[in-house]
Chain A
Amino acid sequence: MADTVQNYVELHDINKNYGDFQASHQINFGIEKGKLVALLGPSGSGKTTILRMIAGLETPDSGEIKIDGQVVNHIPANKRGIGFVFQSYALFRYMTVYDNIAMGLQIQKVPKQQIKERVTELLDLVSLKGLENRYPNQLSGGQRQRVAFARAIAPNPQLLLLDEPFAAIDAKVRQELRSWLKEMIGKLGITSIFVTHDQDEAMEVADEIILTNRGRIEQIGSPSEIYTYPKTAFTASFFGQNAQLEGYQAFHTFGDVPGADKALIRPEFVKVYKLDEKQQYPESASIGTVEQISFRGDRTELQINVNGLLITAKRNLGESPIAVGEQVKVFLYRIFVLKGEEVILLENEAVNSNYFNI
């Protein structure tokens, strides 16, 4: 099956230990040419380690890394055809923006005129025209990131690796840069892998997400796939704004899973009705008390206590307002039930029966 698609990057059974700490354990994945892939996971889960092994900055203890069909384990970093954007950019402080971008080309002995053309083109691409004689410390965080990006792609690498490319940038600019980077990479068509610990970032930017946890890969899939159909308990609990609770049977009309540990409820699984509002499945709603309301701009977030279980729900601004202390009807469309490492998606049986009744 793996041979039907030509993967540009492939990792086979990669293991890496630091002392007796296992930073990577049996890592296997393939990335198609031209894809933008996120390595997502909590801090310390081994994302950077994987990226550095692909780059050649770190050597795996066992396993094979292939780039463009060639095993690169023993090929030095600068011969792998990669560009790397470091977490804190690592721009050369004593070189101007121009020299930073030109350096990689100078080393490849590209003729001066050609270097000049390429750097000018790149400065244009990253909208830094006119800043070529500045030093990195004279730039804003976003500008520095774009210099780092231009420096990495200057020698025309076939694979671009980015370690937490947005981590050092303040929230407002970060949002802009995300879309900018996605657009830029799309335009260049360069296969790219970026590391992030931010699920929103990964889902927004990536074509595909590789989720890591404790040095292992939990799941690989498109953002919607991995979000909607988590295959492991970890994946289910990593994504979304989960409320974890025990005793989900308190909510109505869910099937029983023998031996289940607890349930996960995402806000979008929950529908809240005022007591006097009309409701589709009255028999399967539970009554709860609103404990807290937080305003989130386009919506409000409610914390609702249902028989001692606290769940989060969203309510759009258009809907009639709800006050703290108010009693409401709570309906759950579905829940994730966790059982060991497993996750089981339960749909509310009221919805199903209704569906079959039509």
Chain B
Amino acid sequence: MAIKRKKTRVIPGFGLSFGITIAMLSLIVIIPLCSLVVFTAQLSFKEFWETVSRPRVLSSYWVSFSTALVASLINAVMGLILAWVLVRYDFPGKRFMDGLIELPFALPTAVAGISLTHMTVSTGWVGGFFAKFGIPIAYTKAGITIALVFIGIPFVVRSVQPVLEKIDYQYEEAAQILGFSHARTFWKVIFPEIFPALISGFTLAFARCLGEYGSVVFIAGNTPYETEITPLLIMSELQEYDYASATSIALIMLFAAFVILFINAVLQSRASKKIGKIA
């Protein structure tokens, strides 16, 4: 009864590979995260709560979340359009453009930060244009958002692209014969197919944007209560050797990341239920 028969696997060595997986996960993810908790545990809950709910910290959450959210929303739309163009159209330089998508991954974030700042200050060629209308970009939340859009582009494009490639043309033709408008075909036929990928691209970008530091610090100006992001605050606590405070704030960010990924997982499983192989 209680005997479980071992299934034979095609690729042997499950035990070994599972062990490696656990070891990697522990080394890279779990142990550092635990140390966060351990460091934070030096504080009482009251102290912890006071640290993470100081007004300056609270406004940094707001700056970080609002810019990350706006940037990821922009990325969701832009990334979708980019992926669409790359999959559905043929044009000269397509492969080059496709390769360019990964640039934000490859570029040191500081380089991105510096060049984006240079571009958007009131003497820069983009910032200069907007300055004429009295709209500053660098050293505002708009600037932070731009940096985050840049950082987040690959996530959405690379999530949506393969799914879009796999969509059979027959669906669109079926829709065409039934008289669907282009908009209806998109929303009723194509969008549901790419929605899970879009959500996962969006959440990955969002999570990444929340933690982004390198490219933002240059363009943000880092004015407390205005353009100070949470990762920067953590850095400054560290520079003051206040490890407990730094890890407390980090723990809040960690919690936020978990919530985001959890919401992602829920949306994914809801979407796959409909088309899951139940029968």
Contact = CB atoms under 8 A, between A and B. Distances in A.
Given A86-B170, A93-B193, A107-B184, A78 B275 contact: no
B115 interface: no
Contact of A138 (B173, B188, B192, B278): B278
B142 to A, nearest CB: 37
B189 A92 contact: yes
Nearest to B173: A57
Interface stretch (B75-83, B175-183, B201-209, B215-223): B175-183
B179 A107 contact: yes
A139 B275 CA distance: 11
Interface string B162-175: 00000010110111
Contacts of A92: 171, 174-175, 188-189
B255 to A, nearest CB: 33
B173 A78 contact: no
Contacts of B6: none
Contacts of B180: 78, 103, 107
A78 B171 contact: no
B54 interface: no
B179 A88 contact: no
Contacts of B29: none
Contact of A137 (B174, B189, B193, B278): B278
A84 to B, nearest CB: 5
Contacts of A287: none
A57 B169 CA distance: 11
A113 interface: no
A95 interface: yes
A140 interface: yes
A88 B171 CA distance: 10
Interface string A95-109: 100000001100110
B13 interface: no
A90 interface: yes
Contacts of B274: 93-94, 135, 137
Given A135-B275, A137-B277, A140-B279, A88 B168 contact: yes
B173 A139 contact: no
Given A93-B192, A107-B179, A155-B178, A86 B275 contact: no
B279 A90 contact: no
A137 B279 contact: yes
Interface string A109-134: 00000000000000000000000000
A277 to B, nearest CB: 55
Contacts of B173: 57, 77, 84, 86, 90
A133 B188 CA distance: 17
Contacts of A233: none
**Most central of A87, A90, A140, A155 by chain B CB within 10 Å:** A90
Interface in B223-265: none
A82 B178 CA distance: 9
A350 interface: no
A104 B168 CA distance: 20
Given A90-B168, A137-B276, A84 B174 contact: yes
A77 B188 contact: no
B177 A82 contact: yes
A94 B170 contact: no
B206 to A, nearest CB: 24
Contacts of A135: 274-275
A202 interface: no
Given A86-B170, A88-B170, A57 B192 contact: no
Contacts of A84: 173-174, 177
Nearest to B172: A90
**Among the interface residues A84, A92, A151, A155, which one has the most CB atoms of the partner chain B within 10 A?**
A92
Contacts of A88: 168, 170
A55 interface: yes
A155 B177 CA distance: 11
B277 to A, nearest CB: 6
A310 to B, nearest CB: 43
B277 A78 contact: no
A348 B192 CA distance: 66
A88 to B, nearest CB: 6
B179 A57 contact: no
Contact of B178 (A87, A93, A104, A138): A104
A123 B234 CA distance: 62
B279 A77 contact: no
A57 B176 contact: yes
Contacts of A94: 188, 192-193, 274-275
B171 to A, nearest CB: 5
Contacts of A55: 177
Nearest to A154: B178
Q: Which among A83, A104, A139 has the greatest number of chain B C-beta atoms within 10 A?
A: A104
A132 B279 CA distance: 15
Contacts of B175: 92
23 contacts: A57-B176, A76-B176, A77-B176, A78-B177, A78-B178, A78-B180, A82-B177, A84-B174, A90-B168, A90-B173, A90-B174, A92-B175, A92-B188, A93-B192, A93-B193, A93-B274, A103-B180, A103-B188, A107-B178, A137-B275, A137-B276, A137-B277, A151-B174
Given A56-B177, A92-B188, A93-B274, 8 more contacts: A78-B177, A86-B170, A86-B174, A90-B170, A92-B174, A104-B179, A137-B279, A138-B278
Interface of A: 55-57, 76-78, 82-84, 86-88, 90-95, 103-104, 107-108, 135, 137-140, 151, 155
A-B pairs with lowest CB-CB distance, top 9: A78-B179, A94-B192, A90-B170, A104-B178, A90-B174, A138-B279, A107-B179, A86-B170, A84-B177
Interface of B: 168, 170-171, 173-180, 184, 188-189, 192-193, 274-279
